[in-house]
Structure 1
Amino acid sequence: MSTAPVPVVDPPRPARTPGGLRAETFAGLMDSMPVGLALFPMGLAFGMLATHSGLPWWSAPMFSAVMYTGTLEFLLIPMLLAAAPLVTIALTTLLVNGRHVFYALSFPLHRVEGHLARLYSTFALSDEAYAMTTGGQARTWSSARIVSFQAFNHLYCVAGSLIGAPAGKLIAPRITGLDFAMTALLVVLALDAIRDRRHDLPTPLLALFAAIIARLITPGQMLLTGFGLFSAALLVRHFAARRRPANV
Structure 2
Amino acid sequence: MDIVPVAAENCPRPAPAPPPAPRSEARAALKDSAGVGLGFLPLGLAFGALVTQSGLDWWWAVLSAAIVFGGSFEFLLIGMVTASTPLAAVALSALLVNIRHVFYSLSFPLHRVSGRLGKAYSTYTMCDEVYALTTGEQARTWSSRRILWLQFFLHLYWVGSSTAGALLGSLIPGSVTGLDFALTALFTVLALDAVRTLRGDAPTPVLAALSALAARLLCPGQMLPAAFTLFTAALLARHLASFRKPRHA
- For the aligned pair, the TM-score class normalised by the smaller chain equals 0.7 to 0.9
Q: Tell me, yes or no, if structure 1 residue 203 matches structure 2 residue 207.
A: yes
Q: Tell me, yes or no, if structure 1 residue 213 matches structure 2 residue 220.
A: no
> Residues 33 and 85 (structure 1 numbering): CA distance in 2 closer, same or farther, change over 3 Å?
same
Q: In the aligned structure 1, how far is the partner of 2:236 from the partner of 2:151?
A: 32
**Mapping 1:147-226, distance limit 5 Å:** 147-197=148-198, 198-199=200-201, 200-210=204-214, 212-213=216-217, 218=220, 221=221, 225-226=222-223
**Mapping 1:69-88, distance limit 5 Å:** 69-88=70-89
> Following TM superposition, by how much is the alpha carbon of 1:173 offset from its aligned partner in structure 2, in angstroms?
2.3
- Specify every segment of 5 or more residues in structure 2 that has no aligned partner in the other structure, as ranges: 1-16
> Following TM superposition, by how much is the alpha carbon of 1:213 offset from its aligned partner in structure 2, in angstroms?
2.4
> Following TM superposition, by how much is the alpha carbon of 1:151 offset from its aligned partner in structure 2, in angstroms?
0.4
> Residues 243 and 146 (structure 1 numbering): CA distance in 2 closer, same or farther, change over 3 Å?
closer
Corresponding residue SS for 1:24: helix
Q: Which residue of 2 aligns with 1:233?
A: 230
- Specify every segment of 5 or more residues in structure 1 that has no aligned partner in the other structure, as ranges: 1-15
Q: Which residue of 2 aligns with 1:64?
A: 65
Contact 2:211 2:228 in 1 (8 A): no
Contact 1:28 1:149 in 2 (8 A): yes
Q: In the aligned structure 2, how far is the partner of 1:211 from the partner of 1:190?
A: 18
> Following TM superposition, by how much is the alpha carbon of 1:208 offset from its aligned partner in structure 2, in angstroms?
3.2
Q: In the aligned structure 1, how far is the partner of 2:18 from the partner of 2:110?
A: 16
Q: Which residue of 2 aligns with 1:146?
A: 147
> Residues 135 and 242 (structure 1 numbering): CA distance in 2 closer, same or farther, change over 3 Å?
closer
Q: Which residue of 2 aligns with 1:130?
A: 131
Which range moves more in the overlay, 201-210 or 104-113? 201-210
Corresponding residue SS for 1:177: coil
Report Cα offsets for 1:170-198 as digits up to 9, x if no partner: 22124222211111010111111122234
TM-score (norm 1): 0.82
Q: In the aligned structure 2, how far is the partner of 1:142 from the partner of 1:148?
A: 10
> Residues 141 and 72 (structure 1 numbering): CA distance in 2 closer, same or farther, change over 3 Å?
same
> Residues 149 and 17 (structure 1 numbering): CA distance in 2 closer, same or farther, change over 3 Å?
farther
- Higher Rg of the two aligned structures: 2
Contact 2:43 2:182 in 1 (8 A): yes
Which range moves more in the overlay, 17-26 or 97-106? 17-26
Contact 2:208 2:231 in 1 (8 A): no
Residue-pair matches, total: 226
Q: In the aligned structure 2, how far is the partner of 1:174 from the partner of 1:41?
A: 15
Q: In the aligned structure 2, how far is the partner of 1:17 from the partner of 1:208?
A: 45
Report Cα offsets for 1:130-151 as digits up to 9, x if no partner: 0011000011111111100110
> Following TM superposition, by how much is the alpha carbon of 1:66 offset from its aligned partner in structure 2, in angstroms?
0.3
Q: Which residue of 2 aligns with 1:28?
A: 29
Q: State the percentage of identical aligned residues.
A: 47
Runs of 4+ in structure 1 displaced over 6 angstroms? Answer: 245-248
Contact 1:95 1:227 in 2 (8 A): no
Contact 2:107 2:135 in 1 (8 A): yes
